[in-house]
Structure 1
Amino acid sequence: MGRKMIFLLIMGVLGAYYLYTPLPDNIEEPWRLAWVTTRKNTITNLALFVELLGISHFTNIVVFFMSFQEVPPTSDENVTVTETTFNNVPVRIYVPKRKSETLRRGLFYIHGGGWCMGSAALFDTDFLSRRTADRLDAVVISTNYRLAPKHHFPNQLEDVYNALKWFLYHDVLDKYGVDPERIGISGSSAGGNLAAAVTQQLKDDPDVKIKLKTQSLLYPALQTLDMDLPSYQENSHFPVLPRSHAVRSWSEYFTTDRSLENAMLFNQHVPVESSHLFKFVNWSSLLPEEFKKGHFYNSPTYGGSELAKKYPGFLDVRAAPLLAGDNKLRNLPLTYVMTCQYDVLRDDGIMYVTRLRNAGVRVTHDHIADGFHGALSYHGFKVGYRMENLYMSWLSENL
């Protein structure tokens, strides 16, 4: 009996340690977030264990489990849902069923997932897309793109850009009844990164005659230089997107060589010859005072010359839109940025808001004081519904 009691006690302590997730006091529905975190940690730890055994890559295991959350392109009473390809890139299209006397606005949406997971077919992505189409009476194009670790930068960017350019052809817009003067782009997390990058690229493309009216960036990842921003430090172990996972996603975007990930974890991946780029991500000058409290800016530690030669993508503005010069930021479309307090990517979005405003771009910034990374996509959270209403309201007024 004594051994059984000791065994049960040990299992109870380990179970409590595994299930217990310390959360800030202002997090609404902490029990729901704890449950999401437990499920996520279970899959993550299993994937890491399988990878350690050399059976499969970490991401492949996570994608396998995520595939059970995919839903078919099913139409409902409000929205017709179909699938096709735009320039050989798979997309899912949402068209409201109610009659419209005028051309509809169009929204090109890019899912998140760290450039290595996720799809337009995931339940949460599908749910948001059909809600957007119905609430805004808009045609929504939800695009897929090739994923790491099989595909690396710039494949993801090229897929999104090629699909977007296809959508912007007059014949395609006419087919779906979209007003060419009311088209926006939107994306969350890695999708926000891709949205910002293709928006910058589209502005200078002489072959594209139709320009975007808006860009909406939801907790976007925008820079690769500084992995020790205040938000990275404050939320280093926050359960939804800890610093280690964010850094690995960034690294996987460029290579499966773990040496880049290790250098990024120690913030020693940027070569000295690229030191001029740090002015674009210097949080001491780009963050409002409220986000700098308790933090002191340290001069960058350089390294990674060989890594930069092998994987130059992490210094490419197409991968890190915050590295764009002011001239590239000028005349970008009307912009919406949503950031969350409990998110390692918080400061990326806030710094982009500052830089865009300094360049003369009209920007609306909603900061969610009790929000966390991905909250808009986790179905059922009250904070997620509040975030959705803010996002939809802005689109309704500006798109």
Structure 2
Amino acid sequence: FGGWAAASIAQSLVSIPSLPQIRAQVLITPILQFVNFLLPSQQQNKNIPFLTRDLMTLLVGKYLAIDLSWSDSMLTGSVIPPDKWMKYRKWLSSDNIPRRFWSQDTQPEFLGHFNEAAYLETKHIFHTEISPIIADDETIAQLPEACLVSCEYDIIRDDTLLYKKRLEDQGIPVNWHHVTDGLHGCLIMFDIKFLNFPCSMKMVNTVVSYIKSI
């Protein structure tokens, strides 16, 4: 889940011109928002190791100090006030995900009935430090170029696709690599012989090549 922290730090640094600026941001299968859990990848890959929906829900609760009793409200979008959805849907809606990433079973977003109590317990998900993808256009436009890596079989795959569009819409160069046989967490196994996946080395080589090129 470190991706959102890295993106948030990059946004913070651009607001302090006296500090050395980041040359580039490299985000590998990051989670970049905790608002919309109804994206196509959330539906398609909820049972894929190594990040299942149950595990993701547990980790989100731990990271954000949200009681697990509010998990269903978060997963169904019941924590999203209608006015906030009107504001952020242009950046977070499934409409921004290319149709080639939709399966036949993918359902359009239909937010659950708004639950004010759930919102009050989870409203910090709307802070840009936690969901950096919802930062304003002026902030996004100041960010450095990016190398983004997404995996097909990853429950948070679509966060990368949404962020890619946000950056490109503001004229930020994006070097995007999509690993069609990849799954979340496979990168850390690139040097473990008995658990090595072909996708692991693809991701390592991609990132190394990008860093050498800048």
TM-score by length of 1: 0.49
Distance 2:3 2:213 in 1: 20
Is the aligned partner of 1:191 residue 2:7? no
Distance 2:108 2:75 in 1: 17
Distance 1:290 1:349 in 2: 15
Q: Deviations over 1:126-165 (max 9, x none)?
A: xxxxxxxxxxxxxxxxxxxxxxxxxxxxxxxxxxxxxxxx
Distance 1:346 1:373 in 2: 8
Distance 1:266 1:312 in 2: 15
Distance 2:13 2:2 in 1: 16
SS of residue matched to 1:361: coil
Q: Which residue of 2 is the match for residue 283 of structure 1?
A: 94
| Percent of aligned positions that are identical | 26
Q: Deviations over 1:282-311 (max 9, x none)?
A: 121x21221134334234334232233234
Q: Which has the higher contact order (CA 8 A, sep 6+)?
A: 2
Q: Which residue of 2 is the match for residue 271 of structure 1?
A: 81
Is the aligned partner of 1:248 residue 2:65? no
Q: Which residue of 2 is the match for residue 355 of structure 1?
A: 166
Q: Which residue of 1 is the match for residue 149 of structure 2?
A: 338
Distance 1:297 1:339 in 2: 22
Choose the corresponding residue for 1:300, options 111, 114, 118: 111
Contact 1:225 1:278 in 2 (8 A): no
Distance 2:76 2:110 in 1: 14
Q: Which residue of 2 is the match for residue 82 of structure 1?
A: none
Contact 2:37 2:74 in 1 (8 A): yes
Distance 2:207 2:128 in 1: 26
Contact 1:213 1:333 in 2 (8 A): yes
Choose the corresponding residue for 2:45, options 229, 235, 238: 235
Question: How far off is 1:192 after superposition?
Answer: 1.2
SS of residue matched to 1:306: helix
Q: Which residue of 1 is the match for residue 13 of structure 2?
A: 202
Is the aligned partner of 1:388 residue 2:204? yes
Alignment: residue pair count: 207
Which protein is richer in strand relative to its size? 1
Question: How far off is 1:262 after superposition?
Answer: 2.9
- Could you list the runs of 5+ residues in structure 1 that have no partner in the other structure? 1-189
User: More displaced, 208-217 or 291-300?
Assistant: 291-300
Distance 1:255 1:303 in 2: 21
Question: How far off is 1:260 after superposition?
Answer: 2.3
Q: Which residue of 1 is the match for residue 140 of structure 2?
A: 329
Distance 2:159 2:208 in 1: 22
- Could you list the runs of 5+ residues in structure 2 that have no partner in the other structure? none
* Pairwise CA RMSD: 1.7
Contact 1:337 1:353 in 2 (8 A): yes
SS of residue matched to 2:42: helix
Q: Deviations over 1:315-355 (max 9, x none)?
A: 11110111122222102101000000000010000111111
What is the letter of the counterpart of residue 330 of structure 1?
Answer: A
Q: Which residue of 2 is the match for residue 143 of structure 1?
A: none
Distance 2:45 2:122 in 1: 27
Alignment of 1:80-159 (within 5 A): none
SS of residue matched to 2:206: helix
Q: Deviations over 1:92-133 (max 9, x none)?
A: xxxxxxxxxxxxxxxxxxxxxxxxxxxxxxxxxxxxxxxxxx
Is the aligned partner of 1:319 residue 2:135? no
- Residue 261 and residue 252 in structure 1: after superposition, are their counterparts in 2 closer, same or farther (change >3 A)? farther
Distance 1:306 1:277 in 2: 21
Contact 2:73 2:79 in 1 (8 A): yes
Is the aligned partner of 1:397 residue 2:213? yes
Which protein is richer in helix relative to its size? 2
Distance 1:345 1:309 in 2: 24
- Residue 352 and residue 337 in structure 1: after superposition, are their counterparts in 2 closer, same or farther (change >3 A)? same
Is the aligned partner of 1:215 residue 2:31? no
Contact 2:29 2:160 in 1 (8 A): yes
